[in-house]
Amino acid sequence: MKRIFKRTLKWVIILGIIAAAGYILYSKVLKKEPEVVMEPPQVISFPVTQEPMTSTVQVKGKSKYQEETLVYAPFASKVTAWKVENGGQVKKGDVLFTLDQSTLKNEIATTEATIHKAKLEGELNTFVSQQDEDAAVPAGTEAERLKALAAQETARLNDELNQVNADIQEKELTDKRAKLNSAVYHAPATGIFLYDSSSETGERPQMVTDNQYIGKIVDLSKLEFIALVGEQDIFRIKPGMKVQVKMTAMKDLILKGVVKKVSKFATTTTGQNTAGQVPQFEVVISLQPDEHLIGGLSLSGDIETLRKDKTTVVSSIAVIHEGNQAFVMLDKGKGQYERKEIKIGMETSEKTEVLSGLKPGDTVVLQ
């Protein structure tokens, strides 16, 4: 009985293996897979147009007030009165502040007295010398004559020295009188007055030193864009070039500017990813007035270095370069395309000027 069971189990296993092998053979060989329909490759078309084309240099920097008139204290003194607030509007000639004049007036009086005294002493010495010359008896010996000549030369040199001292004192007196006239300090320009922001107290000073920086008057209606440009672009930029300017804080606002000045001297800044110093050149761009524009804003601009009003243009993506040659795939219609060599001019990241090989109205493709 056991022998019959083992023999039956053996045949069941063999038949199972044969069935599995047959199924695999049918699935892999005899059963046909459904055919995959291959779609034709997509073709992207680009029209050839005639339009203006420009070459630009991108720059970044900050806005700055074009006219800033610095205000300095004319002499050391106590401030007796302030006539302007921080951020206040002033006109040229308005009184900004008044300084105490008492100390300076005393110095002027002392200098005037010193000059007058020296003048009287000089006149007295001249009179005495004249009297001595008139009463003097001609010296008989050579030594006496030499002594007399030495006395005369000494008197002449003393007169010259006194005159030099007098001139110095006169100049000091003139300077002090000029300072006294500026004790009531008038605004040298029209604009907004701003106090010195680096002041320790942050308040208007009540005592000032000689030539101390007080603040500045800025004209809010005139601003400029100070940008830095690398050495690879500096020779492409010239005064008078147009600039499209954007504000970092207001990306949708586009301002117009004009290159005013290009520096001929480099400033050096430390490169972030390179060792050593990277030369940068300052470019000054004048800006049109705008209510949103103030000093110290971050700006970016596109300087138009070259412009062609009528050019044959194609998308730069469609232009294929092989060495010094450039070509495109010209759409001939009905799904037919022709490789067409072209001669190119200006190139930007978006557009390429076609000098020959294509005409406006043609279509090129990218397969």
* pLDDT tops 80 at residue 276: no
Ramachandran area for residue 159 (φ above 0: left; ψ -120 to 50: alpha; else beta): alpha
Residue whose C-alpha is closest to residue 188's, from 224, 214, 207, 210: 214
Mean pLDDT of the chain: 81
Q: If we measure between CA atoms, which residue out of 55, 112, 7 comes closest to residue 236?
A: 55
Q: Which residue type sits at 223?
A: L
CATH topology of domain 45-56+308-366: 2.40.420
Average pLDDT over residues 164-174: 79
Q: What is the pLDDT of residues 298-329, one digit of tens each?
A: 999 999 999 998 899 999 999 999 988 999 99
Distance CA 282, CA 139 (A): 78
pTM higher than 0.85, yes or no?
A: no
Into which CATH architecture does domain 57-66+221-303 fall? Beta Barrel (2.40)
Name the burial class of residue 236, with classes exposed (0-12), middle (13-18) and buried (19+) by CB atoms within 10 angstroms of its CB.
Answer: middle
- Rounded Cα–Cα distance for residues 301 and 256 (Å): 9
Choice between 198 and 9, residue whose per-residue pLDDT is larger: 198
Mean per-residue pLDDT, 30-37: 53
Share of the chain above pLDDT 90, in %: 39
Rounded Cα distance, 50 and 62, in Å: 36
In order of 1, 101, 104, 177, 273, the CA distances from 107 in angstroms are: 144, 10, 5, 10, 61
* Across 80-99, average pLDDT: 91
Question: Which helix (H) or strand (E) is 339 found in, with range?
Answer: strand 336-347
Using one digit for the tens of pLDDT, what is the confidence trace for 16-26?
666 666 666 55
The DSSP result for 198-249, as a single string, is T-SS-S--SEE-TT-EEEEEE-TT-EEEEEEEETTTGGG--TT-EEEEEESS
